[in-house]
Structure formats: structure tokens, C-alpha cells
Amino acid sequence: MSAAPSEAPVPGVRTRRARGEAGARRPVYDATSLLTVAVAEFNTRGYDATSMEDLSRAAGITKSSFYHHVSGKEELLRAALERALDGLFAILEEPAAHDGPALQRLRHIIRRQVEVLTSELPYVTLLLRVRGNTETERWALARRRAFDASIASLVADAVADGEVRAGVEPSLAARLLSGTVNSIIEWYRPGRPGADALPDEIVRIVSEGIIPPS
């Protein structure tokens, strides 16, 4: 089955001439490019509402061709969520995330969270929309909680060091910080003016606030 003429090509997907169809071309996928298609469909339709028929139609290939590369949509979901989570947890391994004063490390992590979110926007969007309906989703939610716990621990260190106002509840602060960063998926669009300055601007806003003290 060839892709509909109105469909935009998926980045990184090659085409080749279909046998017996003069001039006709069909997409040639691998597991990585099929993942791009699947994540777009999951984000548009919702994971539960997306069928393998939907995925094969979006890719412009048959279901049997799709199954040649993956075992099913749960495998695609796992790969997509791993990509998002690996990007986030890699931040915690960076030297600037565990060396230096707690507040300095926290600012670094927030800045890098924004960078990962904007560079991996479809994958992080999918991560933030999972609800725990499958084993893979429950695994992803547990990983998200572990990441948030690391942020809460760092906030607690900053409070103990006197770098954050006394009385700030670390877990609440961590949720507010995560909520601020994660809300970007609702309005950020690649290429928008000021995108390059966004990570530093988010760090400035969460550090200084937007309402001056009375």
C-alpha cells in the first residue's frame, strides 16, 4: 500500500519504486522511522485508541510489513518512553548535576530538562500523557516518580544550605518545578522566536518569580 499523496514524508524514511507500478514509490522503513510514525499517532489519537491498522495506514505500509520490524504497539510505546526517560535521567549523571552547591545543581537540571523536552518534544509529550493502563505505562510512571524524587531531594539540600527560603516543602516545590517545565509541551513549537533562550528564561523565572514581593 502506498502512502496517500497528501501525507507529508517522515524524516529519514527512504522510498523505492514499487514493483509493477511505473514511477510509483513506496516508503522504506526501519524500526527507528516507524517509531517516529507511531509516536505521532499515539500523541494524536491516544495510545489506547491507536490500532496497528492506524499505524500501518499512517506509515503507508501493510500491517505485515509493520510487524516485520516490531512485535506490536506496546514495543513501540516502550521504545518511545525509554527514549524520553533516558534523556531525563542522563541529566542527573552530568557533572554539573552532582557537583557544586545544591541550588546551582538544581538550576542546571531545570535548564537541561527544558532542553531535553524541546529536543525530544514528541517523546516527552507521550511520556507526560501516560496514565498507567498498561505494564509499560506503569513502569514509566514509576521512573517519573523516581526522577521527581531526585529533584525533591535536591530542593531539600538547597533548603538545608540556606539557598532556598526556609519552610519550603521540598516535594511540593519539586512538583511545582516539574509542572512548570512539563507545561511547555502544551504551547512550545519548534522554531518559535526565542526558542534558543527558553531554557535560561525558565530558570530565571523559577528562580526569581514573576510577582515582586509586596
The predicted model gives 137-158 an average pLDDT of 93
d(CA 139, CA 31): 22
The predicted model gives 170-183 an average pLDDT of 88
d(CA 93, CA 97): 7
Residue 121 lies in a domain: yes
Residue 8 lies in a domain: no
Shared domain for 27 and 81, answered yes or no, is no
Shared domain for 105 and 163, answered yes or no, is yes
Residue 125 lies in a domain: yes
Shared domain for 109 and 191, answered yes or no, is yes
Shared domain for 119 and 188, answered yes or no, is yes
pLDDT of residue 19 exceeding 60, the answer is no
Q: Is 17 helix (H, G, I), strand (E, B) or coil?
A: strand
| Confidence band of 194 (pLDDT split at 50, 70, 90) | confident
Shared domain for 51 and 119, answered yes or no, is no
pLDDT at 114: 95
Residue 84 lies in a domain: yes
Partnered with residue 16 across adjacent β-strands are: 26
Shared domain for 117 and 26, answered yes or no, is no
Q: What domain range is 38 assigned to?
A: 14-70
Shared domain for 103 and 193, answered yes or no, is yes
Residue 126: what residue type? L
Residue 46 lies in a domain: yes
Shared domain for 92 and 47, answered yes or no, is no
Lowest-pLDDT range of 31-40, 127-136, 201-210: 201-210
CATH of the domain at 45: 1.10.10.60
Q: Is 16 helix (H, G, I), strand (E, B) or coil?
A: strand
Q: Is 27 helix (H, G, I), strand (E, B) or coil?
A: strand
Name the more confident of 13 and 63. Answer: 63
Residue 80 lies in a domain: yes
Residue 49 lies in a domain: yes
Shared domain for 42 and 80, answered yes or no, is no
d(CA 178, CA 152): 10
Shared domain for 64 and 79, answered yes or no, is no
State pLDDT tens for residues 31-58. Answer: 788 999 999 999 999 999 999 999 999 9
pLDDT of residue 100 exceeding 80, the answer is yes
Count of domains observed in the chain:
2
pLDDT of residue 17 exceeding 80, the answer is no
pLDDT at 171: 84
Shared domain for 109 and 49, answered yes or no, is no
CATH of the domain at 94: 1.10.357.10
pLDDT at 25: 59
Q: Are 65 and 122 in contact (CB under 8 A)?
A: no
The predicted model gives 91-112 an average pLDDT of 95
Residue 6 lies in a domain: no
Shared domain for 93 and 197, answered yes or no, is yes
C-alpha cell at 179: 509542572
